[in-house]
A = this chain, B = another copy of it.
């Protein structure tokens, strides 16, 4: 856990990842594009026409307790595994009602009721994940989650997102875009 790292996702006509589909699950959509790139640079990338760009940073954990963190670290794998040629970018915004809750109330919905950490853990290590925060950056979303997996785990990934969307926590999601990608 070092200092927060700024990550910018740029959608345009070129990029490392080809956008296979982009669905608005809840709320306003994003303009369609054909390629996406992920930049770990503080300066905005000078791309060809930028159709849209979303910025977010890594951060400390907000709900994960000590035992859960130990379990995640023991099982998870990093990004850029050669076999992980599929990816998903899921930008999410949560409602005012969510952000008005106290820390213990959000934790109870997040884990004791929705089992967000436990469900994600079932899909480790095949589904690698990077959670990024952008609520304080003046961005249109609160979180960007980036997932990478091998083609043979595509059905497991569908199951993971389906299960999370059925939780009580997801009733507080008021904007969600689901962007699926394959390495170009």
Which residues of A are at the interface with B, using a C-beta cutoff of 8 A? 1-2, 4, 6, 42, 57, 59-66, 68-69, 96, 99-105, 107, 133, 135-138
Contact = CB atoms under 8 A, between A and B. Distances in A.
Number of this chain's copies in the complex: 2
Contacts of A100: 1
Contact of A65 (B1, B4, B60, B102): B102
B107 A59 contact: no
B6 A64 contact: no
A100 B57 CA distance: 16
A34 B1 CA distance: 37
A68 B102 contact: yes
A61 B137 contact: no
Contact of A66 (B64, B65, B96, B102): B102
Given A1-B100, A59-B135, 8 more contacts: A1-B96, A1-B99, A2-B96, A4-B136, A61-B102, A69-B102, A136-B136, A137-B137
A69 to B, nearest CB: 5
Contacts of A57: 136
Nearest to A135: B4
A28 to B, nearest CB: 16
A64 B100 CA distance: 12
A39 to B, nearest CB: 15
A136 B135 CA distance: 10
